[in-house]
Chain A
Amino acid sequence: MALDRKIAYIDLSTGKIETRPIPIEVRKKFLGGRGLDAYLLYNHAPQGCDPLGPDNPLMISGGILTATCASATARTHIMAKSPLTGLLGSANMGGFFAPEMAWAGFHHLVIKGKAKSPVYIWIHNGRIEIRDAAYLWGKSTTETQWAIREELGDEDIKSAVIGQAGEKLVRYANVMTGIKNAAGRTGMGAVMGSKNLKAVAVRGTMDIRIAHPVDALEHNKHFIDGITGAKVNKTQGALGTPFIWGATNSWGGLRNRNFQYNQMEYADDIEPERLDEIATETIGPHHMTGCFGCQVHCRAQYKIPSGPYAGKYDEGPEYTSQGAFGAEPDCRKAETVLAGNHLVNQYGVDNLEIGSMIAWAMELFELGIITTKETDGLDLRFGNDEALLEMVHRICLRKGWLGDVLAEGGIPASEKIGKNSFDYLIQVKGMNNLHSDERGTPGLALNIATASRGSDHLRSRPAIDLYHLPEKVMRKIYSSPVPYDGPLSSEHTDYEGKPWQVFWHQNCYMAVDCLGICKYHTVFLGATLPNFEDWPKVIYYNTGLEFTPVELWEIAERCNNLERLFNLREGLTRNDLKKGDMLNHRYFDEPTRRGAPDVVGRTIDRQKFNKMVDEFYSHCGWDKKGVPTSETMQRLGLNQEPSHLL
């Protein structure tokens, strides 16, 4: 059955491999995926361990529903201590890897140690081997996947790999699978690189027994109708995630020129419709593809139409690449967005982080904080498309002084650059923001400040706050599965009620990450998509485990608290600008200069922000310092952690 998939412990220093079943009691407390990985991290990572050292455990997992009849159970989760932040490292990716790993017999891998020379791990129907990867070192992410298929003679092998950025220990390197599926935050690719681990390849044909197959399939039809019927998913199926661009740029929610503006004016050439028109050969509604078991099909395919990268095939670009190679560096050419997206996919590096780092460097260059001396002659002004793409190469290959410095991540780079460079770095806990500007949206500002892996839109963002939903609708969503009768506001410029929304989404997204399904199948961008009340049936029909919606909520809370405990153990303190739940001063001091009438001229009110943090902590069951109280630890059964059950 779905629950008989095992956990494997692989020590790359000694070559020792051990497999064990996952006890049902552990499943009931942490489900799988990110939640169980958080348990493993808290139990296996020594306090204060070097993120790029052999002691840092790397977890790779699928969710509890992975490869079942449930839809969109495609997500592969990866966790370790982050080399970018020194705190929680966590990222997940779509594609086909985790389902294949489940068919090969495993839901969770714990990889420790460091191989003497480059290796890859080969998992095939319950068997695990460590194999030589010297011939793969230096290859791109796509080349690596095809080389492994060729070596092992099976085109259906799925691999999670690193590119050159991971090999060079760029602290925000990705783990990738397929052309563009990226576990792209917090530098999990650098952790793989530090272990001399180029790839994990999987192939499986082991059946997964579904607990109630007829009911599972029947229910899934209804479930899929709910998902594909949403306007947001119909639009995504035509334009991919860049569909968000139109709204966020219209009202003024995009970061432009690092953080100088909150709207990219006259950016029509990088709108998704324009990208569609330009790359007519393969992009667009008839060229969308999807991840395992997903009906949304939000992934575009394209060829670059002109310029130095003409003819290169890739997938995407995601909304994040529009920001990284468009809004943030103020570049307006579609070809630049497509080429930048292609480069990060092949090097295996986080597009959000690298775009933010380069835009930050551009602002420093224009301010004279860095000069052509540091850039080795590169004219690093905003809007210089060639310089932008050149910096991608330099960072991923650690070429030149600035490339090497920026590869270290924002905070270490600011320490090397010196002067007041840190003041211009738009980060939380050492991780840069998405290209979003939250000065007009206090709820979203609270989200990025308190998200467990640093400034992040996928951990607790109340994105539907931007839809101006009637209070009646909001109350229906946010009063379940646990009652809530506090304030809720339809105004996304308000501060009232936002802490509860952030808390609710923090639990919702954790639950989704434990199940192993995609966030586009829950209340992330669509208010009418499934959440806590809808999941117990899916879990029961597929696995036989019975949960109430409230029990799922409590599991999510437990897992979120474990992540919090890990961060606190590794040095998080509330107001620390480098390791805390705090925003850059520019949010409080610099008014927005563009956008809709109600957005222009806005800052985040520091006093109200602190009040929101207090209230958010209170909902989480944390004290004023952000530490879980003893009552919370007791209620969630965490007072015995680390318990070393696995």
Chain B
Amino acid sequence: MANDTEKLSASESLRETRTFGKVRCHNPSCMERLEPSPGVDHIKCATCGMEYRIFWVRPDLPRIRGPVWEVNRKIAAEALARKLETSGNKSKAKEGV
């Protein structure tokens, strides 16, 4: 039984990996760790260019409130156009986003 041992469980040992003060880029193919300066309300991912609005739950705990729409929808539109062009369907690229 687990209470016979002093060994840490998986969840206990993983607690050391918790990071405060950082958020992950919400772009699944990027997922870069971003570290907003204290109190800022925006951050841009240096790796993929997506931009986010930041909310501070506590002074050491930022979270992504939501995207900066104009920036991220442009990136998404370009990505969709590229994908549809590859699949030979240009007309849908315009109506897509």
Q: Which residues of A contact B (CB under 8 A)?
A: 226, 229-231, 234-235, 238-239, 243, 245-247, 249-252, 265-268, 271, 273, 440, 466-468, 473, 476-477, 480, 491-493, 523, 527-531, 533-534, 536-537, 540-541, 546-549, 591, 593-601
Contact = CB atoms under 8 A, between A and B. Distances in A.
Question: Counting chain B CB atoms within 10 Å of each CB, which of A250, A527, A529, A531 scores highest?
Answer: A250
Nearest to B80: A600
Contacts of A246: 55, 63-66
Given A476-B10, A528-B14, A601-B79, 16 more contacts: A230-B18, A235-B57, A245-B66, A250-B52, A266-B69, A466-B28, A468-B24, A480-B10, A491-B28, A531-B10, A534-B11, A594-B76, A596-B30, A596-B50, A600-B96, A601-B96
A149 B14 CA distance: 46
B73 interface: yes
Contacts of A252: 76
Contacts of A528: 11, 14-15, 17-18
B28 to A, nearest CB: 5
Contacts of B79: 597-598, 600-601
Given A229-B18, A596-B26, A239 B1 contact: no
B86 to A, nearest CB: 9
B2 interface: yes
Nearest to B17: A473
Nearest to A596: B27
Interface in B30-79: 30-31, 48, 50, 52, 55, 57-58, 61, 63-67, 69, 72-73, 75-76, 78-79
Nearest to B24: A468
Size category of the binding interface on chain B: 35 or more
A298 to B, nearest CB: 13
A594 B28 contact: no
Interface of B: 1-3, 9-15, 17-18, 20, 24, 26-31, 48, 50, 52, 55, 57-58, 61, 63-67, 69, 72-73, 75-76, 78-80, 83-84, 96-97
Given A250-B66, A477-B10, A537-B2, A595 B76 contact: yes
A140 B63 CA distance: 37
A468 B10 CA distance: 18
A226 B11 contact: yes
B81 to A, nearest CB: 9
A244 to B, nearest CB: 10
B76 A549 contact: no
Given A231-B18, A593-B97, A598-B29, A537 B63 contact: no
Contacts of B12: 226, 534
B64 A247 contact: yes
Main secondary structure on chain B at its contact with chain A? Answer: mixed
Contacts of B84: 601
Nearest to A266: B69
A252 B2 CA distance: 41
| For the complex of A and B, 5 pairs with smallest distance between CB atoms | A597-B79, A533-B9, A598-B29, A250-B26, A601-B83
Q: Of residues B2, B75, B84, B96, which shows the largest number of chain A Cβ atoms within 10 Å of its Cβ?
A: B2
Given A230-B18, A235-B61, A597 B3 contact: no
Contacts of A493: 28-29
Nearest to B19: A231
A323 to B, nearest CB: 15
Contact of A265 (B27, B69, B80): B69
Tell me whether chain A's interface is mostly helix, strand or loop, or mixed: loop
27 contacts: A230-B18, A231-B20, A231-B61, A238-B58, A246-B65, A250-B52, A468-B24, A476-B13, A477-B10, A477-B14, A480-B10, A527-B11, A527-B14, A531-B10, A533-B11, A536-B3, A540-B1, A540-B3, A546-B1, A591-B83, A594-B73, A596-B76, A597-B27, A597-B29, A599-B28, A600-B79, A601-B80
Contacts of A529: 11
A594 B97 contact: yes
Contacts of A238: 57-58
A467 B28 CA distance: 9
Nearest to A490: B31
B28 A251 contact: yes
A492 B31 CA distance: 11
Contacts of A548: 1-2
A600 B86 CA distance: 14
Nearest to A549: B2
From B48, B66, B84, name the one whose CB has the most chain A CB atoms within 10 angstroms: B66
B25 to A, nearest CB: 9
Contacts of A601: 79-80, 83-84, 96
B24 A467 contact: yes
Contacts of B29: 493, 596-598
A537 B28 contact: no
Nearest to B52: A250
Given A231-B20, A492-B28, A600-B76, A537 B3 contact: yes
Given A229-B18, A234-B61, A246-B66, A597 B75 contact: yes
B58 to A, nearest CB: 7
Contacts of B13: 476
Contacts of B61: 231, 234-235
A230 B20 CA distance: 10
Nearest to B55: A273
A597 B14 contact: no
A440 B25 CA distance: 16
B83 A600 contact: yes
Contacts of B18: 229-231, 528
Contacts of B67: 249-250
A529 B15 CA distance: 8
A529 B13 CA distance: 10
B44 to A, nearest CB: 14
Contacts of B27: 251, 596-598
Nearest to A535: B2
Nearest to B32: A468
A271 B61 CA distance: 18
B4 to A, nearest CB: 9
B74 to A, nearest CB: 11
B26 A534 contact: no
A555 B34 CA distance: 41
Nearest to B8: A533
Contact of A547 (B1, B72, B78): B1
B17 to A, nearest CB: 7
Contact of B15 (A226, A243, A247): A226
